[in-house]
Amino acid sequence: MEDCIFCRIIKGEIPCSKVYENEHVLAFLDLNPAAPGHTLVVPKKHAATLLELEPGTGDALLQAMRRIGHAQLQVAGAEGFNCLQNNFPASGQEVMHLHWHVIPRRAGDRLIDPWKQTKYASMDQMNAMAEKLGSTIGR
């Protein structure tokens, strides 16, 4: 897509600090890292969100994240890493080209606040939600 910043990076029109590339995937450092080594992993074929991801590309993305996470453990001082992905602005997505954040973590760094855990009012309510989601997927 012409006006997509990540498509322009993939085409080489905008520079990036490339970490990894293969036929389907490009990975480069985030300009505003949560920690040094914070890497973005993007499919080369434009998809705005996970809902548009071309079938067959998921494994290439996952394998790239595995390799980057492994490298962060080896050379970025990481003791762990998060793979995070936002879909639509309501979730925090700012760049509308599907991407995963691979973020190096250290114990106690508190870089990312965990979500606030809640409870369903009852097991019936929980099972009704599972049923509603499951039957929608089945359609």
Residues within the interface to ligand AMP (CB under 6 A): 5, 14, 16, 30-32, 40, 86, 92-95
Of the pair 50, 73, the CB lying nearest ligand AMP is at 50
For the bound state, the minimum distance from the C-beta of residue 53 to ligand AMP, rounded and expressed in Å, comes to 15
Answer yes or no: 70 catalytic.
Answer: no
Of the pair 90, 125, the CB lying nearest ligand AMP is at 90
* Cα-Cα-Cα-Cα dihedral sign, residues 96, 9, 59, 84: negative
81 vs 38: CA distance, rounded Å: 9
Of the pair 63, 85, the CB lying nearest ligand AMP is at 85
Residue 119 burial (10 A CB sphere; 0-12, 13-18, 19+): exposed
- Helix, strand, coil: what percent of the chain each, to 5? 35, 20, 50
Extract the tokens encoding 32.
């505003």
For the bound state, the minimum distance from the C-beta of residue 17 to ligand AMP, rounded and expressed in Å, comes to 8
For the bound state, the minimum distance from the C-beta of residue 116 to ligand AMP, rounded and expressed in Å, comes to 20
Q: Active-site residues: which are they? A: 99
